[in-house]
Amino acid sequence: MLKGKKILIGITGSIAAYKTVLLVRELAKSGAEVQVICTKSALDFITPLTLSTLSQNPVYSDFLIDSKSGEWTNHVRLGKWADLFVIAPLSANTLSKLVHGLCDNLLLATFLSADCPIMVAPAMDLDMYHHWTTQQNLSNLRKNGVKVIDVGDGELASGLVGKGRMAEPEDIYKAIGEYFDVQSKLSGRKILITAGPTYEKIDPVRFIGNYSSGKMGYSIAQEAFERGCSVTLISGPTALPRPGEGIDFISVESAEEMLSAVDSHYHVADVVIMSAAVADYRPKHVFQDKQKKESKGLNAIELEETTDILKSLGKQKNHQFLVGFALETNDELANGRRKLENKNLDMLVMNSLNDKGAGFGTDTNKVTFIFPEGNIEHSLKDKRAVAKDIFDAIENRI
């Protein structure tokens, strides 16, 4: 899987740098083309000679290679050359610089010029790792599509014990392998995702809505982005931060607005995942002015059905792989299968309000995938892990 892949390794100043030597060796042994950039502090821990011998390429650490001849390292070329840029170890200092767009060394300049996916393996002492600034910086990287390989738990260089060790070279190697593995299947596919609730207006200050937080749909969008897909996320109102730049984001309010946004993207989509909790009904009449108590205008609101977006997609389906969601409270599997068939779906993700930790607002979900050929039940997982399961299942079928 790694043969011929162009992997750029960035090394920053941390004792874990010695482990990256093993990573470079393994990548080169697997047939990957490896180039290495070190920060000045990284060179306090390892030598360029070791890395150039193992990678069979020069090791870069300076903008200027030879001041007499004016030979310089082209960071743009390095960033464009790579299929994947892995920064391991990533120190707290470089982490902070990456997030703030600083550019005072070759590694940072290459990060800013790179248009390939980026992976980082942080390494630092446990208090530094748990510090809120570090946590915010890591979450900022994640939000912007950088894959963060979790730190390990154990003995640290300081003698303290806890979280902060760089992931082991074999785990980083595995993450790289997995990245190229899924890339080859879904890379470049167009994925259309809906998320969140819809709000159906009653008057200028009131609406009918539901408890959907949008977390599931946003996690699905992030997962699709990390798998190299071209992602469009159509979202109803949520309190979540807007996804990073690589995701095409369309904000809507009502079921009708969601329908029209979905319609205009449907024909080019390869996979459509309707995780939004679309309102089934909306007020038949929307008051232009705020309704006063005395007017009794809100005593009875007449409702009309919204268009079932998913059902209409199922009717028009040609090449698309269509995924629906269902939240049930009883007869879950039978109801789920009925929806799969009625809406002409390829897959239905069913969650039950009877399962603790599943459904609206939580960070976790417990789902069963319903396919025409059978069901697959999953355990309780965080929503990002559920998103991974969804894509693994889709990949196996398209």
Distance CA 249, CA 235 (A): 8
Least distance from ligand CTP to the Cβ atom of residue 346, Å: 12
375 contacts 357 by C-beta, under 8 angstroms? no
| Closer to ligand CTP by Cβ: residue 75 or 339 | 339
355 contacts 380 by C-beta, under 8 angstroms? yes
Among 216, 310, 340, 367, interactor with ligand CTP by CB under 6 A:
310
Distance CA 22, CA 189 (A): 34
Residue 308 binds ligand CTP, judged by CB under 6 A = yes
Residue 278 binds ligand CTP, judged by CB under 6 A = yes
Among 172, 276, 350, 358, interactor with ligand CTP by CB under 6 A:
276
User: Would you state the structure tokens that stand for residue 315, as one six-digit string?
Assistant: 């009717």
Least distance from ligand CTP to the Cβ atom of residue 154, Å: 43
Residue 309 binds ligand CTP, judged by CB under 6 A = yes
Least distance from ligand CTP to the Cβ atom of residue 398, Å: 19
Closest CA to 9 of 42, 187, 1, 41: 42
Residue 199 binds ligand CTP, judged by CB under 6 A = no
Residue 196 binds ligand CTP, judged by CB under 6 A = no
With 0-12 / 13-18 / 19 or more C-beta atoms within 10 angstroms meaning exposed / middle / buried, residue 381 is: middle
DSSP output for 67-96: TTTTEE--HHHHHHH-SEEEEEEE-HHHHH
Distance CA 255, CA 277 (A): 9
- Please count the residues of this chain forming the interface with ligand CTP, following the rule CB under 6 A: 13
| Closer to ligand CTP by Cβ: residue 161 or 376 | 376
Residue 195 binds ligand CTP, judged by CB under 6 A = no
Least distance from ligand CTP to the Cβ atom of residue 281, Å: 9
First CA to last CA distance, the chain: 20
Least distance from ligand CTP to the Cβ atom of residue 216, Å: 11
| Closer to ligand CTP by Cβ: residue 36 or 255 | 255
Pairing of strands 367-371, 347-352: antiparallel
Q: Give the H/E segment covering residue 395.
A: helix 383-397
Distance CA 272, CA 131 (A): 39
| Whether 210 is catalytic | yes
Residue 337 binds ligand CTP, judged by CB under 6 A = no
Among 117, 196, 197, 324, interactor with ligand CTP by CB under 6 A:
324
User: Would you state the structure tokens that stand for residue 104, as one six-digit string?
Assistant: 């005072």
74, 93, 144, 210: the active-site residue: 210
Kindly identify the residues of this chain, within the stretch 287-306, that bind ligand CTP according to CB under 6 A: 306
Residues that bind ligand CTP (CB under 6 A): 255, 274, 276, 278, 280, 306, 308-310, 324-326, 339
- Residues labelled as active-site residues: 210
